[in-house]
Amino acid sequence: MKRIAHRGYKTLNIKENTMEAFKNAFNHDFDGIEFDVRKTKDNKLVICHNAWINLTSDGSGLISELSYDELEDYNFGSNATPSKIPLLKDVLKEFKNNGKIKLVEIKSNINLDEVLDFIDEDTYFISFDTSYIEALKKIYPNLKFGVLNYVLNTELDYDLDAICLLDNIANDLIVEHFLNKGIKVFIYGIVGKIDYLRDYDNLYYIVNDLSTN
């Protein structure tokens, strides 16, 4: 089974969504990484899951109300392994053409123009907002896009490159349905295992239980 490290390979000293967590994932032979992108007050694209930085750094405040320079004042890592908030540009540049998946969940409306030179064929942009993904596809027709839980919608648009499905709704019939359309399938969620699924090409499991390793 191909594995994607959710927010990187986290440990007690390496925190989620940091450059160290992403490097750690590839050092442990993961097939890709998943991470979240948000926009700062000065329109920089940074990697962070939460809108507020209170739980993931030693600072406080909303990313959308802080400049990138202000965010750089805070530690998003641990005391043992300090880390600055990563720029999307730097992460994509660091791992461009490494043959590994970069699964980028978009948390706010963004402009991808400044990172176009660093996007490779293994980079996928995903969101829960299907209409926003449709809009981005029109602006950037050469990039790869996907949606989360799209199988729950009644009208399916197969002009997608990837889909993320919750593990508690995924089954072989659903997985094969999308794979037969040439769509990569990523499984994530709450069950914590997918040993009930067959092993398919272009099926990936987003591993989330690494925080205590």
What mean pLDDT comes out for the span 129-156? 85
Top mean pLDDT of 12-16, 171-175, 196-200 is at 12-16
The b/e string for 41-71 (b: 16+ C-beta within 10 A; e otherwise) is beebbbbbbeeebeebbebebebeebebebb
What backbone phi and psi angles, to 5 degrees, belong to 100? Answer: -115, 150
Domain encompassing residue 161:
2-207
CB 207 within 8 A of CB 186: no
For residue 154, is pLDDT > 50?
no
Give the per-residue pLDDT at 211: 42
User: Which CATH number is 69's domain given?
Assistant: 3.20.20.190
Contacts of residues 154-160 at CB distance under 8 Å and 24 or more positions apart, as own/partner, are 157/130, 158/183, 160/133
Residue 153 lies in a domain: yes
Res 190 pLDDT > 90: no
Q: Is residue 53 one of the residues assigned to a domain?
A: yes
> Does 191 score more than 80 pLDDT?
no
Determine the pLDDT at residue 212.
Answer: 36
**66 inside domain:** yes
Q: Residue 194: which pLDDT band, with cuts at 50, 70 and 90?
A: confident
Instruction: Report how many domains make up the chain.
Output: 1
For residue 186, being part of any structural domain is answered with yes
Percent of the chain with pLDDT over 70: 92
- Could you tell me if residue 47 is inside a domain? yes
Give residue 210's pLDDT band: very low, low, confident or very high (50, 70, 90). Answer: low
Question: Has residue 55 been placed in a domain?
Answer: yes
